[in-house]
Amino acid sequence: MQADKCPRPDRFNPYFYQHCWHTYGHKVYQGGCQWLANDVFPPHVNSTNITFIPKGGTHVSMKYRRPNALCNVV
């Protein structure tokens, strides 16, 4: 992902993870290994924000908007 994309629900954008991976990467990796070993995936990690972005100048109905999903970075 590009570093300046929209932040995830915890307000960290891809730049944070790219820039600080040497500090937090091992913890993210350990968390992933625990999720796989215990067969439990924390629901908040999979959260996605969905928004509707206007396509043009007139916004009379939903057909003039397009959905946009803001997915997690990790």
Give me the residue label for tokens 């057909």: 63
Q: What is the pLDDT of residues 7-36, one digit of tens each?
A: 666 777 888 888 888 998 898 899 889 988
Stretch (H or E) spanning 54: strand 49-54
CA 50 to CA 67: how far, in whole Å? Answer: 7
pTM listed for this prediction: 0.50
Beta bridge partners of 54: 65
Q: What is the pLDDT of residues 35-54, one digit of tens each?
A: 889 988 777 777 777 788 88
